[in-house]
Structure 1
Amino acid sequence: MAERGAWRIAGRPVGAWAEPMRRVVSRILPGDDDPAAPDIPAGEWLVDCAVYVDGRRLPNEPDFRAALRTAAREDGFVWLGVRDPTQAEFQQVADVFGLHELAVEEAVTASHRPKIERYGDVTLFVMRTTRYLDHPFLSETSEVVETGEVLVFIGDHFVITVRHGAPGELATVRADLEKRPDLLRFGPWSVAHAVSDRLVDSYLEVAHGFEADLDVLEEHVFSQVTSDRIAHIYQLKRELMEFKRAVAPLQRPLAAIVEDKDLLAKEIRRYFRDVNDTLLRVVERVASYDDLLNSILQAHLAQVTVTQNNDMRKIASWAAIAAAQTAIAGVYGMNFDYMPELHWRYGYPVVFLLMVVSAYSLHRAFRRSGWL
């Protein structure tokens, strides 16, 4: 029994609340000796989990709860890589790293616009991934670009990358960054920079692919062999618009990172400034490609109009030639008795010669004027 006069909460002695409170606190800030914090095994959705201290990777730690404890103790950070998680799977991550419920919602759903958002002490950085799809020729159904999404959650001692879709694999990003301990020393934001730098470089590769397609399309449209390329032009324009929706909105988040002096250190902001400059070049290219596609479309429509006008002039020319012969034949088909040529021996040969001469004269006149 509790001692008489002891402090009580909700009818229970204060001492009785010690164990439940310890469990709640240990869930938020788990300790090494917490028996209520079982190891969380890695699944297929968990790509990689590593602790980085002073720019160096420690031995693999498959349990991200233990990895977070190690990072906090060694003043390092955890890089947790996740791909296409379900709600239940990512909820485990959210419970360990203290992510907001809205952040969990963002992580399990794809098709977000590029943005940067704060959830307390955690920053969410969303970027779109792109990949150029090789195709033997451009048709009205050709897929030129494939898009996906990468979400980067950045905290004091952790960075979580969540990837949706096939494009934007991050294994090479991790491998390359681990060769740069001078960058890894900047902490979780160095990972955000490496990811954004790789994605923006992939935008340049896709832009080069679009440029090659535009050159081929332009060559076909202005070739001597006439063909209907309007469907191909529209298809390439649709693919370009999808690429533009992935690239253009990233300008604002990157500009916010570069300009916000309180968000991260000056040294790492310089690296983000370089990424932002590359992104601006890509955006300018996309805008120029869009203008060029519009010009190609207008030129092709003008070509079609000119071709139709030429066809109509040819039809009208041949119709005029035929009308002259019809007029002559019509006069001599009236069966009149009193016509000079009816009783003349050379009447019909002269009429036929007249028809030939009139047809030749009209044909020559139309040829000179460019109608035939």
Structure 2
Amino acid sequence: MTAATDDPGRQVVPLAIYQQQDGAWARVPWDPGLVVRPGTRGTPTWVVLERLADLAPAARAWGADEMTVALAQQRVRRLETGRPTTALFAHVDHARTGDVLLSIPTMWYDDTTRDVHTGDLTAVACDDLLLSVEQGSAHVHDIAADRLTTGAPTPDRGVREALAALLFTILARASEVELGLGDAVGHTERLVFSSGSSDPVERIYDLKREIAEARRSLSPLMAVLPELEDDEDRHAARTSQWLHRLQASVDRLDRHLDAHDSLLGAMLEVHLSQVSVRQNEDMRKISAWAAMIAVPTLIVGLYGMNFHHMPELSWTYGYPLAVVVMGVACLWLYRAFKRSGWL
């Protein structure tokens, strides 16, 4: 693809183009003749771009309003230079023509490393044109395109149907993240209550960090969905229905993640309680053995003071008697500690 600039005459070659004919979406081959000027569009078209910098030139080339193009330029500058690469950003802008500019985080889950990864998707939605570009490896474009072209049920019509497919795909990927984290939490719970010697604390904290990352990506989606509703839009009633469904699903997903986080917190408390109990048990055992050792130590210490007037020193059976007394005392203490559960 040509280097990204804001040259109005530069031609941007998209990754893919999808059009709706007779109510069905299909991928169409790239043809420069598909790029139309204002007032000549009519077929709902979804254009998938490769780079964020191509968004504004493509919007201008496909006949978007100049205010929409200006908003796209501002959004690209903000996404590329106005925030840290680790920040998650979501925002909706409405142009005077009714066009919508949307930026929203995406996420996906790596089962092998149990890591949550994030990206973002930026889209420009006009009456019959949708431009979108994805950063990251959530594969939102591929999944949404498959959903549209295979005829899977998707709410709304025209370009709004493609936009709904993108948003529901983002939600589906977030649901996969929640399910993956839920499985990891369940496995960690079994590890906490197992008799093995492995320490689950590090794993618990790792999962809590990944859950926090998932919620950081989900929170902007929760905040941005209400902004997609436009009472002045003629499609508002139809769009509002699936937006409310989407928002309810996002809220439910966030509650599930919060429940996983709370469960991990409870597991950490239980594990620390188990460690404390084991330490108490070890201390009781040490104390019991110390008590048993103290008895013969006391007796031997008394006889080691070398006094002359100790009648037992002259007894024939004094030494065996001292040994028997020490043995009986130790045996009695051992049985007493055993009955009390200290040994």
Q: Which bracket does the TM-score occupy, shorter chain normalised?
A: 0.7 to 0.9
Q: Distance in 1 between matches of 2:155 and 2:190?
A: 47
1:6 matched to which residue of 2? none
Q: Distance in 1 between matches of 2:152 and 2:109?
A: 31
Q: Distance in 1 between matches of 2:155 and 2:266?
A: 46
2:94 counterpart (105, 110, 118): 118
What is the letter of the counterpart of residue 46 of structure 2? W
Deviation per CA, 1:278-301, whole angstroms, max 9, x where unpaired?
222211111111111111111111
Q: Distance in 2 between matches of 1:114 and 1:50?
A: 25
SS in 1 for 2:256: helix
Q: Distance in 1 between matches of 2:199 and 2:219?
A: 31
Q: Distance in 2 between matches of 1:120 and 1:312?
A: 74
Q: Distance in 2 between matches of 1:185 and 1:329?
A: 93
2:126 matched to which residue of 1? 155
What is the letter of the counterpart of residue 48 of structure 1? A
SS in 2 for 1:282: helix
Deviation per CA, 1:66-105, whole angstroms, max 9, x where unpaired?
434178424123312123x264x44532543442221222
Does the 8 A contact of 1:52 with 1:71 survive in 2? no
Q: Distance in 2 between matches of 1:306 and 1:249?
A: 43
2:249 is equivalent to residue 267 of structure 1: no
2:43 is equivalent to residue 76 of structure 1: yes
Q: Distance in 2 between matches of 1:360 and 1:170?
A: 77
| Distance apart, 1:181 and its partner CA | 10
What is the letter of the counterpart of residue 305 of structure 1? S
Q: Distance in 2 between matches of 1:58 and 1:317?
A: 79
Q: Distance in 2 between matches of 1:192 and 1:326?
A: 84
Q: Give the direction of change, closer, same or farther, for the CA distance of 1:181–1:307 in structure 2 (3 Å limit).
A: closer
Q: Distance in 2 between matches of 1:70 and 1:52?
A: 19
TM-score when normalising by structure 1: 0.78
2:203 is equivalent to residue 232 of structure 1: yes
Does the 8 A contact of 2:296 with 2:326 survive in 1? yes
| Distance apart, 1:328 and its partner CA | 0.9
C-alpha RMSD over aligned residues: 2.7
Q: Bigger shift: 306-315 or 231-240?
A: 306-315
1:340 counterpart (311, 327, 339): 311
2:17 matched to which residue of 1? 49
TM-score when normalising by structure 2: 0.84
Does the 8 A contact of 1:72 with 1:157 survive in 2? no
1:104 matched to which residue of 2? 76
Q: Give the direction of change, closer, same or farther, for the CA distance of 1:316–1:143 in structure 2 (3 Å limit).
A: same
Q: Give the direction of change, closer, same or farther, for the CA distance of 1:183–1:327 in structure 2 (3 Å limit).
A: closer
SS in 1 for 2:307: coil
2:161 is equivalent to residue 190 of structure 1: yes
| Distance apart, 1:241 and its partner CA | 0.6
Q: Distance in 1 between matches of 2:93 and 2:186?
A: 40
Deviation per CA, 1:262-316, whole angstroms, max 9, x where unpaired?
3443223322232222222211111111111111111111111111121122212
Identity %: 28
SS in 1 for 2:40: helix
Q: Distance in 1 between matches of 2:311 and 2:323?
A: 15
| Distance apart, 1:49 and its partner CA | 2.7
Q: Give the direction of change, closer, same or farther, for the CA distance of 1:360–1:114 in structure 2 (3 Å limit).
A: farther
2:108 is equivalent to residue 131 of structure 1: yes
1:316 matched to which residue of 2? 287
2:329 is equivalent to residue 353 of structure 1: no
2:57 is equivalent to residue 92 of structure 1: yes
Deviation per CA, 1:97-131, whole angstroms, max 9, x where unpaired?
44222122245466432332335443222222222
Q: Give the direction of change, closer, same or farther, for the CA distance of 1:72–1:340 in structure 2 (3 Å limit).
A: farther
2:138 matched to which residue of 1? 167
Q: Give the direction of change, closer, same or farther, for the CA distance of 1:104–1:54 in structure 2 (3 Å limit).
A: farther
SS in 1 for 2:277: helix
Q: Distance in 1 between matches of 2:161 and 2:91?
A: 18
Q: Distance in 2 between matches of 1:73 and 1:217?
A: 58
SS in 1 for 2:15: strand
Gaps of 5+ in 2: 1-6
Does the 8 A contact of 2:16 with 2:47 survive in 1? yes
| Distance apart, 1:319 and its partner CA | 1.4
Q: Distance in 2 between matches of 1:115 and 1:257?
A: 10
